[in-house]
Amino acid sequence: GNMKYRALRLDAGNYAWGSENVTKKVRILDVVYNSTSNELVRTKTLLKNTVVQIDAHPFMQFYQKKYGQDLGKKKKGAAGEKTEKEEVKVSRHVLYKQKARAARQKLDSLLEEQFQSGRLLACIASRPGQCGRADGYVLEGEELAFYKKKLEKK
């Protein structure tokens, strides 16, 4: 048969942002929840379906490029900061494209809150003990609300 690759120590993986249809290689920052046992959270063991915190910056850069909106800034501070530093020059054509995309785009408030902290909650979909990789997806919608509620109980 095939070879098994045991992951002994992982710090990164490919994570998909389902609603935006994009996948980025990001750093895994922390293990925050595992339905099996709190012991696995304490020892930071990576298993399938473990909820982890990942670095949000690669997704923030993607969002900035596609929609021309900065996710890391809070709404009230964004107007004042924009005047003092001008970003990379983009053509009028690209600006119109970004505006059209942004008009149709609505970001979940729970997800936006996470982007401001710079950390996203994600779930591991692969089996790190079998394939040696910790790939997964960013939590959104009802699933995100469910795990947020679970984390508040702890």
Tens-place pLDDT, residues 68-78: 888 877 665 54
CA distances from 141 to 1, 18, 48, 112, 138 (A): 39, 11, 20, 12, 10
Band (149; pLDDT cuts 50, 70, 90):
very high
Lowest mean pLDDT among 8-17, 47-56, 75-84, 109-118: 75-84
In the chain, pLDDT over 90 holds for what percent of residues? 58
What is the rounded distance in angstroms from the CA atom of residue 73 to the CA atom of residue 69? 9
Yes or no: say if 15 and 26 are a contact pair by the CB < 8 Å rule.
yes
Statement: the pTM of the whole predicted model exceeds 0.75 = yes
Measured distance CA(21)–CA(14) in Å, rounded: 13
Q: Would you place residue 90 in the very low, low, confident or very high pLDDT band (cuts 50, 70, 90)?
A: confident
Question: Strand 12-17 to strand 136-138: parallel, antiparallel, or no bridges (unpaired)?
Answer: parallel
Residue pair 134/124 in contact (Cβ under 8 Å)? The answer is yes
What pLDDT does residue 84 have? 44
Is the pLDDT at 12 greater than 90? The verdict is yes
Backbone φ and ψ of 35, nearest 5°: -70, -25
